[in-house]
Amino acid sequence: MLNQKDILNRLLNYTQIYNLWLNHGATEEAAKDLTIQQIDAFEEIVNNDEGWEKLLEVSERGRNHDAWLAADWPAGFDELLLCVPLCKLVDWECAKCTIGKRQGNNSCAYEYSVFGYIGELVKSYSRKELLSHLKSVKKMLKDERYVWDFGKLGIELKP
């Protein structure tokens, strides 16, 4: 069984995930695959009782003082850490991103976007909802027919 430190280290920090994406050719496929890898690692943290408690502690520690914590993991947590490869693929131009296009060209930094909602669920200690949402995010990454519904805060198949 993995201990808390091992579990936290499965989620790569900004530099690690960015360099891994570059080493995989900086392609769209690599961006999606590595984002899913990050989400899987994050899911492990959320599923683990000690990992969940540590995530809450890390999240509470800095979010009110620093809007950009994606480079700080595991000392700080920012949900944009999960989608760094997607962001770098489009050079932060959200309207070009596979997720951004399917959430009304909005940035994932917006708290009720696909990735932004992850931060809201962490801040509200909504573990069960977070795990469900992470499954939805992976569906979006694997199937471009899914779009984000801001009203429902969930995904749906586009007509």
Which range of residues forms the domain containing residue 78?
4-157
Total of domains in the chain: 1
Instruction: Classify 147 as helix, strand or coil.
Output: strand
pTM, two decimals, is 0.92
* Alpha-carbon distances of 39 from 23, 58, 93, 104, 158, rounded to whole Å: 19, 17, 21, 22, 23
Task: Say how many CA atoms lie within 13 Å of 53 toward its Cβ.
Answer: 4
Task: Say how many CA atoms lie within 13 Å of 139 toward its Cβ.
Answer: 15
Residue 143 Rama label (left phi>0; alpha psi -120 to 50; beta): beta
Contacts of 146 (CB under 8 A, 6+ apart): 102, 136, 139, 140, 155, 156, 157, 158
Q: Tokens 């940035």 label which residue? A: 107
Per-residue pLDDT of the chain (159 residues; tens, 9 = 90+): 556 678 889 999 999 999 999 999 999 999 999 999 999 999 999 999 999 999 999 888 766 566 566 678 888 888 999 999 999 999 999 999 999 999 999 999 999 999 999 999 999 999 999 999 999 999 999 999 999 999 999 999 987
CB 129 within 8 A of CB 137: no
